[in-house]
Amino acid sequence: MGHTLAEKILAAKCDQDEVYPGEFINARVDVALASELSGVLAIEEFEKIKGARVREPEKVVFVMDHFTPAKDIKSAQIVKRCRDFARKHGIRFYDVGRAGIQHVLLPEQGIVVPGDLVAGADSHTCTYGFLGAFGTGIGSTDAAAAMALGEVWLKVPESIKFVYHGRPPKWVGGKDLILHTIGDIGVAGARYQAMEFTGEAVPHLSMASRFSMANMAIEAGAMAGLFAADEVTRAFVRQRGDREGLYFESDPDAEYAAVYEYDVTQMEPFIAAPFLPSNVKPVSELAGLEIDQVVIGMCTNGNLADLRAAAEVLKGRKIHPHVRAVIVPGTQKVYLDALREGLIEIFVDANCSVTTPTCGPCLGGHMGVLAEGERCVSTSNRNFHGRMGHIESEVYLANPYVAAASAITGVITSPDEVMN
Amino acid sequence: MTYEPTHQMTIGELLATQAAKYGQRPFLRLGNDRITYAEAERQANALTAGLRRLGLEAGDRLAVLLPNLPEYVLALFAAAKVGLILVPINVRRHETEVAARLEKTRPRALLTFSDPDNFHGVDHLALARRLQADLPDLERVIAVGSAEWADLLGSAAVPPAPTTRLEDTAVIAHTLGSSGQPRGAMLTHGGLARNAAAVAQILAATPDDVFLGAVPFSNAFGITPTILAGAIAGAELVCLPRYRPGDALRLIREASVTIHHGVPTMFSLELNHPDFDPAACRMRTGIMSGAPCPPELVRRVREEMGCQLLLAYGLTEASPGVTITRFDDGPVTAVETVGRPHEGIELKVVDEQGRDLPPGAEGELCVRGYNVMKGYWDDPEATAEAIDSDGWLRTGDLAVIDPDGPARIVGRKDEVINRGGFKVYPGPVEMVLRSHPGVKEAAVVSIPDLIYGEISCACVVKRPSADFSEGDLLNFAAEHLADYARPDRVLFFDALPRRGGGPVWKEYLRERVRIHGTAWKFGQNIDTDAIIPARRCNTADPRELALYCMEDADAEFVNNMSRGDLIVADANFGCGSSREVAPLTIKAAGVSAVIAKSFARIFFRNAINIGLPILECPEAVDRIQEGDRVEVEPAAGVIRNLTRDETYRAQPFPDFLQRIIDRGGLLAYVEDRLAQEA
């Protein structure tokens, strides 16, 4: 029997010829990851382990991204704790001004490459599947154990195959494909499984589009969301570091728990309405709904290509007087590239606020928290009750084109309407 | 009558002396067969010669896997005469337990028997021969009654004068360490004989007494106050190979037993037996020991059996007698304490740090004296832990020594349940539960709890015709116990696990209880991220967090969380959070395991990582109904529905996952791994 991409990566990480879905394994971790929020909990757990030291400091990465620059004394204390721990143990540490949002940062720095196993104390660690790495979210206790042992225990997931046919039309990107998919299968549709994204649409998807898709695999309950690394991936990786990585692909006779096929040619941009990422509707269905805020960027759509998309719509326009728009580049490098390309100027001209890279608004932490009754179009990945602020606020998940177009009109709007 | 000279005798010399003194008086009786002191001495000497002929020499170990038979007694004396160290093993031990004891003590010969019909179908001779294959030191396995046995006794050679000294080890009696591994306490000739003489003296035993051999001869309670004290008194010992209350009552009646030692359960079974007839009971005295003795039971034995029952405290490592009540004790001391120490034995009570405590204070009981073992066989580390440099043996029992002398045992140090700062002693709670008319047996153990640290769980066996509910028993407990001491949970069992017929095996029970509960069918997914609720409600209290963390579906969850539940989830079950809040909350609520059709990804990990067993088994979810009693064995992937008498199979946990669960979480497992590597 053949094996899926997920099975092949995991087999390589536990030195077995093959692994099967349902099997429990102890796998070697290539990168163990934490933010300040999960990191500080992992440190607490780690320090409870008698005789523990960080086994491979070069494989442990702490990225300060959730409440940074420190939004209050508490977050300052938390970051300091992480900083002190990182210095003491010699682990990789990314602080304000040198960092960005962890999932955008690590591939950009060449820290994660195809074929890696990334265990991150952040649920969106599944993002690394966009370049053919197996990334999965773990708990803080897991993270402590991973630091001490360099291993993580896993149950090998079944895989589900998603086949995307055709070439996506204008305004439709990876974000729309994944929203459509989650809308179809539901928030538990890929529970404890690996989503494998395939089909002739894939070569047409930019790395940023693939990023958005893998990033939201967790919103369907998946353990990982994977693309087989291809030439587009290889080009991306080579520009960023020395590590080559391992290029796996699924066998033709690999077994899948399910196969879903979608025609992307007729798709229009989608929006996930409150309060679940699976509550997905075409943008046309929600058009005209008044909004108060737009947030563009963060991890799901925080790459340069995403900012370019937003800038394409915002260029030469002003956002609606009743609307606030916050642009959050994924990393310092994305910020700088956007600056050099003139994108930041476009945003500022349009009356958008541009912030330092941070997860802040997405989880209602800081830099754009919503008040009671406010409605926000966001390019982030979650729209649960109170996710971005007050429990009575609403979040609509969309791609950067839709978010930018809606910022201009003050109501949910298809980019077509603004651009034509 | 005093027995002072026996203090200066080895066990081998003891029998010779008694044979000279009481020659034609009966010593051992089995059924209608009787052996006199002289005959016992002759047979023991023949066996001594036979054992020598096998090549056994002083210091070699002789294992005995025998029930309470006269041959056991002969082997005890013969071994002593050669200077062999006797290694008695209880016949009710499992094969692996027998193997562990033999591997550790490496005997050269083993005496056993074969009577599967009367011993639960176990053929001990076959068992011993199987084990012999892997025990290179074990040269001979001989069954009593066989041709080899007859051959062994066939020699009439008179043994040379013994060279054995009082301080030599006579017996290695096994006891269990805190983690359940066997430890062999090396008990000396001098220690056993003097302790037995002290008991005989206090019982005022004479050649007119008849001892009932009910407690297993393989343990120190059977050896010292029963076999040896009986011999010192010149009394008769009636052997009861397999204890059944009806048989014990028959012997008490027919053999006119005057002295009967036993654990509380034995007396309780006898008093409640339909054949019990106070008029036919000629019992004069006896010792109740080996477990906490309920005052109510002690009073009943004294009244209904018409005897001056004594209470004693001892432990294998102390040969075993430490304290005992006396005939002239007042009613409170006689019924509610374990008496004062034997002569020549010192007691003290110490705190957690080992500092001496004044009389009246509660602490760990320590013992010093002639009776303390030499140490654990081949285990200097455990010996050093047990006996300090001044010779004090730490008993692990918590006691109060009353200012006027008698001691009270309040519990086992490692069994005390710390319920949110309140100490709950299982002993008194068990006594209260046992006093309920419908309760046959009760044991109280702790369950880890995130709110209280530990909570208590009563494991109860009902009497056959009893009909009462958990609530009835809790109401009953509430009348007799402080609120914090009332059991938090009650679980009913068919029988309580015991090892080798000894006290309730609490380690095993704790393990069972942890993953045993009433099924609660909960259908919905528990989801959303904990970060936001944690911030919103600004609390670290898991229950409060749960209200926010598990919104929507989860208000139902929180409102229904009740202790003792075992969650059976209709569909997906889990929480998307990377924090352990959700499983911690569930565990804190007393949930002992989760069974679901499937799991959310991180919830599954986090549950395992905090030691909450979680199994995926659609069949179990379909079959189990709300309120069913369910038991889970994660390692085997077995889910038992006790209500419906059905078993379902989930994916078994591999070793490492089971170890994580057993160790209570991932961190302890990591520690073990690091320690191994080091």
Report which of residues B496 and A6 the model is more confident about: A6
Report which of residues B86 and B95 the model is more confident about: B86
Whether B90 shows a pLDDT value over 80: the answer reads yes
Structural domain ending residue among the three candidates A261, A281, A302: A261
- Gap from A252 CA to chain B (nearest CA, Å): 27
Of A104-108, B89-93, B409-413, B534-538, which has the strongest mean pLDDT?
A104-108
pLDDT digits (tens, 9 = 90+) for B550-569: 444 344 555 555 544 677 76
Beta bridge partners of residue B293, listed in sequence order: none
Q: Is B223 on the interface with A (CB under 8 A)?
A: no
Whether the upstream peptide bond of residue B406 has omega within 30° of 0, thus cis, is no
Residue B351 is encoded by which pair of tokens? 């705190």
Would the CB atoms of B666 and A142 count as touching at under 8 Å?
yes
> Does residue A277 sit in the same domain as residue A320?
yes
Q: Write out the E strands in B481-561.
A: 489-493, 516-522
3-class DSSP assignment, residue B533: helix
| Spatial separation of the C-alpha atoms in residues A25 and A21, rounded to whole Å | 10
DSSP B441-468: EEEEEEEEETTTEEEEEEEEEE-TT---
Q: Is B200 on the interface with A (CB under 8 A)?
A: no
Q: Is B678 on the interface with A (CB under 8 A)?
A: yes
CB-CB contact of A401 with A174 (8 Å):
no
> Does residue A49 sit in the same domain as residue A100?
yes
% pLDDT > 90, chain B? 48
Size of interface A-B (CB pairs under 8 A): 121
Would the CB atoms of B599 and A137 count as touching at under 8 Å?
no
Q: Write out the E strands in B362-452.
A: 362-369, 393-401, 407-412, 417-419, 422-424, 439-449
Whether B664 shows a pLDDT value over 80: the answer reads no
Whether B472 shows a pLDDT value over 60: the answer reads yes
> Does residue A169 sit in the same domain as residue A285?
no
Chain B residues close to A51, C-beta within 8 Å: 671, 674-675, 678
Residue A43 is encoded by which pair of tokens? 């440190």
The CATH number given to whatever domain includes residue A368 is 3.30.499.10
Would the CB atoms of B529 and A223 count as touching at under 8 Å?
no
Kindly give, in sequence order, each residue whose CB lies less than 8 Å from that of residue B500, ignoring residues fewer than 6 positions away: B90, B92, B93, B97, B216
pLDDT digits (tens, 9 = 90+) for B22-67: 989 999 999 999 999 999 999 999 999 999 989 999 999 999 999 9
Chain A residues close to B527, C-beta within 8 Å: 187
Chain B residues close to A22, C-beta within 8 Å: 651
Is B426-513 assigned to CATH 1.20.1260.10? no
| Spatial separation of the C-alpha atoms in residues A134 and A154, rounded to whole Å | 12
% pLDDT > 70, chain B? 83
Whether B163 shows a pLDDT value over 70: the answer reads yes
**Which regions of chain A are under pLDDT 50?**
none
Considering its fold, how many domains does chain A have in total?
Answer: 2
Is B4-401 assigned to CATH 3.40.50.12780? yes
CATH class of this structure's domain B516-677: alpha beta
Going from the C-alpha of A267 to that of each of A68, A326, B194, B250, B369, the distances in angstroms are 37, 27, 95, 91, 90
pLDDT at B549: 47
* B42: nearest Cα among B199, B215, B171, B158: B158
Confidence class for position B159, pLDDT limits 50, 70, 90:
low
Average pLDDT over residues B328-345: 93
> Does residue A250 sit in the same domain as residue A149?
yes
| Spatial separation of the C-alpha atoms in residues A217 and A365, rounded to whole Å | 23
Chain A residues close to B571, C-beta within 8 Å: 188
> Does residue A227 sit in the same domain as residue A283?
no
pLDDT digits (tens, 9 = 90+) for B611-657: 888 888 889 988 988 878 788 877 667 888 878 888 899 887 787 88
> Does residue A13 sit in the same domain as residue A73?
yes
Chain B residues close to A52, C-beta within 8 Å: 670-671, 674
Report which of residues B331 and A262 the model is more confident about: A262
> Does residue A100 sit in the same domain as residue A221?
yes
pLDDT at B670: 93
> Does residue A347 sit in the same domain as residue A400?
yes
> Does residue A235 sit in the same domain as residue A275?
no
- Gap from A390 CA to chain B (nearest CA, Å): 9
| Spatial separation of the C-alpha atoms in residues B582 and B548, rounded to whole Å | 11
CB-CB contact of B469 with B479 (8 Å):
no
- Gap from B655 CA to chain A (nearest CA, Å): 10
- Closest partner CB to A139 (pick from B535, B578, B653): B578
pLDDT at B230: 97
CB-CB contact of B561 with B582 (8 Å):
no
| Spatial separation of the C-alpha atoms in residues B254 and B241, rounded to whole Å | 16
pLDDT at B610: 83
**Which secondary-structure segment (H or E) carries A160?**
strand A158-165
Question: For tokens 């993002």, what's the residue?
Answer: A127
Burial of A353 (0-12, 13-18, 19+ CB in 10 A): middle
For A328, the domain range is 270-419
**Using CB atoms and an 8 Å cut-off, which of residues 614-673 of chain B contact chain A?**
651, 653-654, 656-657, 660, 665-667, 669-671, 673
pLDDT at B551: 42
| Spatial separation of the C-alpha atoms in residues A88 and A81, rounded to whole Å | 11
CB-CB contact of A155 with A23 (8 Å):
yes
* A409: nearest Cα among A281, A307, A318: A318
> Does residue A243 sit in the same domain as residue A290?
no
The DSSP symbol for A363 reads: G
Would the CB atoms of A139 and B576 count as touching at under 8 Å?
no
- Closest partner CB to A386 (pick from B532, B600, B604): B532
Report which of residues B158 and A321 the model is more confident about: A321
Whether B111 shows a pLDDT value over 90: the answer reads yes
CB-CB contact of B77 with B170 (8 Å):
no
Q: Which of B670, B671, B676 to mutate to test the interface with A (most CBs of A within 10 A)?
A: B670
Confidence class for position B510, pLDDT limits 50, 70, 90:
confident
Residue A92 is encoded by which pair of tokens? 């990789």
| Spatial separation of the C-alpha atoms in residues B311 and B293, rounded to whole Å | 8
Kindly list the domain boundaries of chain B, sorted by start residue.
Answer: 4-401, 426-513, 516-677
Q: Which of B524, B573, B579, B602 to mutate to test the interface with A (most CBs of A within 10 A)?
A: B602
CB-CB contact of A96 with A184 (8 Å):
no
- Closest partner CB to B670 (pick from A137, A149, A391): A149
Structural domain ending residue among the three candidates A261, A283, A307: A261
- Closest partner CB to A139 (pick from B605, B656, B670): B605
Whether B537 shows a pLDDT value over 50: the answer reads no
pLDDT at B82: 92
**Residue in A closest to B611 by C-alpha:** A141
Chain A residues close to B552, C-beta within 8 Å: 385
> Does residue A250 sit in the same domain as residue A286?
no
* B48: nearest Cα among B132, B124, B135, B161: B161
pLDDT at B451: 56
Q: Is B325 on the interface with A (CB under 8 A)?
A: no
**Residue in B closest to A34 by C-alpha:** B578
Chain A residues close to B661, C-beta within 8 Å: none
> Does residue A136 sit in the same domain as residue A187?
yes
Chain B residues close to A386, C-beta within 8 Å: 532, 536
Chain A residues within 8 Å of chain B (Cβ atoms): 22, 24, 26, 37-38, 41, 45, 48-52, 121-123, 136-142, 144-145, 148-149, 153, 155, 187-188, 191-192, 218, 221-223, 363-365, 382, 384-387, 391
| Spatial separation of the C-alpha atoms in residues A15 and A22, rounded to whole Å | 17
pLDDT digits (tens, 9 = 90+) for B448-464: 654 566 788 898 999 98
DSSP B539-598: ---HHHHHHHHT-THHHHHHHH--TTEEEEEEEEE----SSSHHHHHHHHTT---EEEEE
The DSSP symbol for B652 reads: P
Kindly give, in sequence order, each residue whose CB lies less than 8 Å from that of residue B184, ignoring residues fewer than 6 positions away: B87, B101, B104, B105, B172, B173, B174, B376, B377, B378, B379
Going from the C-alpha of A178 to that of each of A109, A168, A277, A296, A413, the distances in angstroms are 25, 12, 10, 17, 20
- Gap from A223 CA to chain B (nearest CA, Å): 6
Pairing of strands A258-263, B345-350: unpaired
| Spatial separation of the C-alpha atoms in residues B519 and B629, rounded to whole Å | 6
Structural domain ending residue among the three candidates A261, A296, A323: A261
| Spatial separation of the C-alpha atoms in residues A362 and B579, rounded to whole Å | 18
* B527: nearest Cα among B505, B556, B554, B501: B554
DSSP A37-104: HHHHHHHHHHTTSTT---S-GGGEEEE--SSTTT-SHHHHHHHHHHHHHHHHHT-EEE-TTS-B-HHH
Would the CB atoms of B572 and A221 count as touching at under 8 Å?
yes
- Gap from B588 CA to chain A (nearest CA, Å): 17
CB-CB contact of A361 with A367 (8 Å):
yes
| Spatial separation of the C-alpha atoms in residues A346 and A298, rounded to whole Å | 18
